[in-house]
Amino acid sequence: MLQDIEPYLACPHCARPLTLDGRTLRCAGGHSHDLAKQGYVSLLAGDAHTGTGDTADMVAARGDFLAAGHYRPIADALAEAAVAAVADADAAAGGLVADLGAGTGHYLAHVLDALPGRPGAALDISKYALRRAARAHPRIGAVVCDAWRPLPLLDASAGLVLNVFAPRNGPEIRRVLRPGGTLLLVSPTARHLRELVATLGLLSVDEEKQRRIDEKLGPYLAPAGRREVEFTMRLSAEDVRTVVGMGPSAWHTDPARLGERLAALPDPVEVTASVTVAAYRR
């Protein structure tokens, strides 16, 4: 619920704290932001737009694929890392669990189940995704924002930040993390969906991706451990179509050509899921 995360929210125009007044968030600077009937609130700056967000079709595909449990080992590993991070952190870390690029709220809800009592902010630029995130867990508040701009969170408001297959803004993540707080970042390895990449013409993952992530975050956060999570999925042709449609390859794949290539795959097909779950500490 938005009420759970109200104490941590900042106005996108003046960075002052926001207060919930009925179905409107207000700040002392006179700015107001109305809660949408679907349960989320937009805290985008006036000149921002949502054109880069996931479409309704992409969100529907992601919802179907995640609900089927194909990525459950990733969600479990993230929840385990969250419990460990909270246990290792200074007691002062506390605070909000913020998911930057939260999508449907699937991973955030899983983490909140493992951390009773902690409020969660689902931050994403896609209003279609946040319609689902607002209903994904009773302690989730859903907020439309741009990951590349100042986040609508107060300084040092989050004890834990999640980032799963999503853009990451090092300076802003450091700003919103409390001292002792942790960023948990899930990123694909070069082996992720390798059986589909060449056959279906999907975007591939660079072997140097993790090194580049470390370099970009290095000025702001200190590495605090990582693990690789790799497993095999048995996917039907429809599952494969769904996993393509929910990710960045959806922007670059011709549906007709995809259908032709899918017909050449065995049904079901064994597909590798491979990610790194890395922790970074403020």
- What is the CB neighbour count within 10 angstroms for residue 265? 17
Predicted confidence at residue 252, as pLDDT, reads 57
CA–CA separation, 130 and 53 (whole Å): 11
Predicted confidence at residue 262, as pLDDT, reads 75
The per-residue pLDDT for range 84-128, each reduced to its tens digit, is 998 876 655 678 999 999 999 999 999 999 999 899 999 999 999
Look at 149-153, 240-244, 264-268 and tell me which has the smallest mean pLDDT.
Answer: 264-268
**DSSP symbol at 53:** S
Helix (H) or strand (E) holding 225: strand 222-235
Provide mean pLDDT across the span 201-213.
80
Write down the mean pLDDT value for the chain.
Answer: 89
The per-residue pLDDT for range 50-72, each reduced to its tens digit, is 556 788 888 998 999 999 999 99
Provide mean pLDDT across the span 78-85.
95
The per-residue pLDDT for range 141-174, each reduced to its tens digit, is 999 999 999 999 999 999 999 999 998 999 999 9
CA–CA separation, 98 and 142 (whole Å): 10
Percentage of residues of the chain with pLDDT beyond 70:
92
> β-pairing, 24-26 with 32-34?
antiparallel
The answer to whether 54 and 167 have CB atoms below 8 angstroms apart is no
Q: What is the DSSP string of 230-256?
A: EEEEEE-HHHHHHHHHTSGGGGT--HH
CA–CA separation, 104 and 106 (whole Å): 5
Of 48 and 35, which is predicted with more confidence? 35
CA–CA separation, 150 and 172 (whole Å): 6
The answer to whether 109 and 140 have CB atoms below 8 angstroms apart is yes
**DSSP symbol at 153:** B
| Domain residue extents for the chain | 2-281
Q: Phi and psi at residue 41, in whole multiples of 5°? A: -130, 140
Q: Phi and psi at residue 212, in whole multiples of 5°? A: -65, -40
Which residues have C-beta within 8 Å of that of residue 70, sequence separation ≥ 6? 233, 235, 239, 243, 273
* 2-281: CATH architecture: 3-Layer(aba) Sandwich (3.40)
- What is the CB neighbour count within 10 angstroms for residue 60? 17
Q: Specify the pTM.
A: 0.92
Write the Ramachandran bin of 84: left for phi over 0, alpha for psi from -120 to 50, otherwise beta: alpha
pLDDT above 90 for 263: no
Instruction: Please give the single-letter amino acid code of residue 241.
Output: R
Residue burial 73-96, b: 16+ Cβ < 10 Å; e: rest: ebbebbbebbeebbeebeeebebb
- What is the CB neighbour count within 10 angstroms for residue 16? 15
pLDDT above 60 for 250: no
